[in-house]
């Protein structure tokens, strides 16, 4: 398989000077000479789709920003570097090797949508990436490369939902990482109490504010949220043109994608591949295949899409092909499961992850999600009775009811795929033929070092109220609204537990 280096350089670029000496910066220089709408049109023609998971066309999003500009308040470009999807380590890999590609992409985006500010939304625990980005900003400002655009780093919390774009914007505005109804392309949305002058800033939520729709809410200016990898693609598209970008990939999924392979493979790693490469080749090339004597049973593309069974491994890694088999590309993170992995334990692990990380603004998602997680744990431990399986099915059918964000749909999609595609695994547990196994550990990747993935082992102790107390308080994260500023309780030190194996 051909590995490529459009956005993930083969080795780390150590300074802005080095980046510029390797023809970095040419996209930004070109962008500064054309009308901003030419940039929007170029991105539209390129067909670049957001690499944060949803695959939304980037040029279309940029056009929305331009159409919703405020005449009074400046637009902000927010770089989504929150990367918390289990099995994904591509944004941190890009930032470690070259924050410059991303910074240049963000500066071009600012030029295109008329923004005066770029905020890098990272996590405080991403110490290496924060240091790399901060150093790049110092260089860009000192050399005048960033022009009049203000550059900032926001060091956010570890919660999975922080990466959801409305939650990211909420957190940057000093509130909790709870998804809101107001559209993603607004920041500075004030909560009802704030608007009436009542509350301490930062204490409440804009969760129910709906007023910031297109054309309205001039005090809530547009904010363009784009993923790290998406923005890293931008400089070369502008420098070389939309047709060049389309020279690799498929019609609907042009370009490349940075994939992460972990799980039951000989090694774990991250590499950039051409869109449309068969999944089997991606796994072979990055992961070195399975251990001697073992076969792949399934592949899980993060926790947002259904599991892919072994007989569909030749499916191309493209948005359209993955959707056609009832799964998705997600953020290009593929967790491989061989024939030793119990998929009911996997479903229980995913369900626990999503149940714990749910914020609790929607009852079916949080309460229903935790219930499904408990039932799947019983199934996995082979402690289920006749009522367990029907209760799981009923829970999965309802978990996404009235969901405010996509997390609840993820819960439905992943668990449903295991129930539907691997009935024999369930049957083995229900009939008592399978040994009881604890849930598979599904958690954020902390690092990939020497070909071995390191997971956030502390997630095992995370409670559904987002604390690490010994006992679950029974409260939901959303119950904490009004308790104080979000930062007071979330920026806790994390002790990473290194794991070389994803099984418990």
Ligand X SMILES: Cc1cc2nc3c(=O)[nH]c(=O)nc-3n(C[C@H](O)[C@H](O)[C@H](O)COP(=O)(O)O)c2cc1C
Footprint of ligand SF4 (CB under 6 A) = 161, 179, 358-362, 365-366, 403-405, 407-408
Of 179 and 328, which CB lies nearer to ligand SF4 in the complex structure? 179
**Is-contact 319 75, C-beta < 8 A?**
no
**Is-contact 240 31, C-beta < 8 A?**
no
Which of 80, 98, 204, 373 is close enough to bind ligand X by CB under 6 A?
Answer: 80
- Contact partner at residue 1 from ligand X, ligand SF4, none, CB < 5 to 8 Å by partner kind: none
Question: Shortest approach of ligand SF4 to residue 292 CB, angstroms?
Answer: 41
Which of 9, 52, 287, 369 is close enough to bind ligand X by CB under 6 A?
Answer: 52
Question: Shortest approach of ligand SF4 to residue 361 CB, angstroms?
Answer: 4
Of 203 and 453, which CB lies nearer to ligand X in the complex structure? 453
Question: Please, what is the Cα angle at 196 between 190 and 199, to 5 degrees?
Answer: 75
Question: Shortest approach of ligand X to residue 88 CB, angstroms?
Answer: 8
Distance CA 374, CA 455 (A): 22
Distance CA 345, CA 349 (A): 6
Question: Shortest approach of ligand X to residue 158 CB, angstroms?
Answer: 11
Determine the interface stretch with ligand X among 158-166, 431-439, 446-454, 491-499 (rule: CB under 6 A).
158-166
Token representation of residue 14: 């150590």
Of 61 and 404, which CB lies nearer to ligand SF4 in the complex structure? 404
Cβ-Cβ contacts under 8 Å for 70 (sequence gap 6 or more) = 218, 219, 221, 222
Of 227 and 377, which CB lies nearer to ligand X in the complex structure? 227
Q: Which residue is nearest to ligand X (CB)?
A: 50
- Contact partner at residue 408 from ligand X, ligand SF4, none, CB < 5 to 8 Å by partner kind: ligand SF4
Question: Shortest approach of ligand X to residue 231 CB, angstroms?
Answer: 7
**Is-contact 316 327, C-beta < 8 A?**
no
Cβ-Cβ contacts under 8 Å for 131 (sequence gap 6 or more) = none
The answer to whether residue 161 forms part of the interface with ligand X (CB under 6 A) is yes
Token representation of residue 207: 């969760």
Determine the interface stretch with ligand X among 20-28, 157-165, 244-252, 307-315 (rule: CB under 6 A).
157-165
Taking Cα atoms as reference points, which of 278, 261, 275 lies closest to residue 316? 278
The answer to whether residue 456 forms part of the interface with ligand X (CB under 6 A) is no
- Contact partner at residue 366 from ligand SF4, ligand X, none, CB < 5 to 8 Å by partner kind: ligand SF4
Instruction: Quote the distance between the C-alpha of residue 486 and its chain's center.
Output: 21
- Contact partner at residue 227 from ligand SF4, ligand X, none, CB < 5 to 8 Å by partner kind: ligand X
Helical H segments across 273-422, by residue range? 279-287, 319-324, 343-357, 363, 369-380, 388-398, 407-421
Question: Shortest approach of ligand X to residue 355 CB, angstroms?
Answer: 13
Applying CB under 6 A, the site for ligand X has a residue count of: 23
Which of 54, 66, 150, 394 is close enough to bind ligand X by CB under 6 A?
Answer: 54
The answer to whether residue 51 forms part of the interface with ligand X (CB under 6 A) is yes
The answer to whether residue 268 forms part of the interface with ligand X (CB under 6 A) is no
Of 52 and 276, which CB lies nearer to ligand SF4 in the complex structure? 52
CA distances from 409 to 128, 366, 396, 454 (A): 32, 12, 9, 27
The answer to whether residue 165 forms part of the interface with ligand X (CB under 6 A) is yes
How many CB atoms within 10 Å of residue 417? 22
**Is-contact 177 156, C-beta < 8 A?**
yes
The answer to whether residue 53 forms part of the interface with ligand X (CB under 6 A) is yes
Cβ-Cβ contacts under 8 Å for 408 (sequence gap 6 or more) = 358, 362, 364, 365, 369, 399, 400
The answer to whether residue 230 forms part of the interface with ligand X (CB under 6 A) is yes
Question: Shortest approach of ligand SF4 to residue 406 CB, angstroms?
Answer: 7
Taking Cα atoms as reference points, which of 92, 86, 88, 176 lies closest to residue 491? 176
The answer to whether residue 183 forms part of the interface with ligand X (CB under 6 A) is no
Q: What is the DSSP string of 234-283?
A: HHHHHHH-HHHHTTSB-SSSBSEEEEEEEESSSS-EEEEEETT-BHHHHH
The answer to whether residue 406 forms part of the interface with ligand X (CB under 6 A) is yes
Of 80 and 377, which CB lies nearer to ligand X in the complex structure? 80
Cβ-Cβ contacts under 8 Å for 1 (sequence gap 6 or more) = 273, 277, 281, 282, 284, 285
| Interaction mask 87-116, ligand X, x per CB under 6 A | ------------------------------
| Interaction mask 207-226, ligand X, x per CB under 6 A | ------------------xx
- Contact partner at residue 287 from ligand SF4, ligand X, none, CB < 5 to 8 Å by partner kind: none
CA distances from 183 to 115, 156, 214, 336, 498 (A): 18, 20, 9, 35, 38
Per-residue burial over 345-360, b if 16 or more Cβ lie within 10 Å, else e, is: bbbbbbbbbbbbbbbb
Token representation of residue 358: 């749910």
- Contact partner at residue 9 from ligand X, ligand SF4, none, CB < 5 to 8 Å by partner kind: none
The answer to whether residue 333 forms part of the interface with ligand X (CB under 6 A) is no
Residues within the interface to ligand X (CB under 6 A): 50-54, 56, 80, 82-85, 160-161, 163-165, 225-227, 230, 405-407
């Amino acid at each position: 398989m051909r590995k490529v280096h459009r956005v993930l350089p083969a080795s780390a670029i150590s300074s802005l000077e080095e980046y510029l000496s390797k023809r970095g910066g040419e996209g930004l220089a070109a962008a500064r000479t054309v009308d901003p709408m030419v940039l929007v049109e170029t991105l539209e023609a390129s067909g670049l789709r957001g690499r944060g998971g949803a695959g939304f066309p980037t040029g279309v999003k940029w056009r929305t920003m331009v159409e919703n500009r405020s005449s009074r308040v400046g637009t902000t470009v927010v770089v989504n570097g929150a990367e918390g999807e289990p099995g994904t380590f591509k944004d941190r890999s890009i930032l470690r090797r070259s924050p410059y590609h991303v910074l240049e992409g963000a500066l071009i985006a600012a030029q295109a949508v008329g923004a005066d500010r770029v905020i890098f939304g990272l996590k405080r625990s991403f110490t290496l990436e924060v240091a790399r980005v901060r150093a790049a900003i110092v260089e860009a400002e000192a050399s005048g490369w960033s022009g009049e655009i203000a550059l900032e780093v926001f060091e956010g919390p570890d919660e999975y939902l922080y990466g959801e774009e409305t939650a990211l914007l909420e957190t940057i505005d000093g509130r909790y990482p709870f998804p809101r109804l107001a559209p993603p392309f607004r920041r500075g949305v004030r909560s009802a109490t704030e608007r009436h002058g009542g509350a301490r800033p930062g204490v409440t939520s804009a969760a129910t504010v709906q007023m910031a729709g297109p054309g309205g809410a001039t005090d809530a200016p547009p904010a363009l949220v784009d993923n790290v990898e998406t923005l890293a693609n931008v400089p070369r598209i502008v420098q070389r043109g939309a047709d060049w970008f389309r020279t690799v990939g498929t019609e609907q999924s042009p370009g490349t994608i940075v994939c992460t392979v972990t799980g039951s493979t000989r090694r774990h790693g991250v590499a950039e591949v051409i869109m449309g490469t068969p999944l089997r080749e991606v796994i072979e090339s990055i992961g070195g295949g399975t251990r001697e004597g073992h076969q792949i049973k399934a592949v899980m593309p993060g926790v947002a899409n259904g599991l892919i069974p072994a007989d569909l491994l030749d499916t191309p890694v493209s948005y359209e092909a993955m959707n056609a088999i009832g799964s998705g590309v997600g953020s290009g993170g593929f967790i491989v499961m061989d024939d030793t992995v119990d998929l009911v334990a996997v479903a229980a692990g995913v369900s626990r992850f999503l149940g714990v990380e749910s914020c609790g603004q929607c009852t079916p998602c949080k309460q229903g999600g935790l219930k499904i997680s408990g039932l799947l744990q019983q199934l996995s431990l082979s402690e289920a009775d006749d009522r367990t399986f029907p209760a799981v099915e009923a829970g999965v059918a309802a978990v996404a009811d009235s969901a405010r964000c996509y997390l609840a749909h993820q819960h439905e999609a992943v668990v449903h795929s295991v129930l539907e595609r691997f009935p024999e695994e369930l049957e083995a547990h229900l009939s008592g033929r399978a040994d009881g196994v604890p849930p598979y550990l599904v958690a954020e990747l902390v690092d990939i070092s020497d070909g071995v993935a390191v997971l956030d082992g502390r997630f095992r102790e995370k409670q559904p109220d987002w604390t690490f107390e010994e006992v679950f308080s029974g409260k939901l994260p959303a119950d904490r609204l009004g308790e104080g500023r979000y930062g007071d309780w979330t920026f806790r030190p994390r002790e990473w537990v290194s794991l070389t194996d994803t099984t418990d």
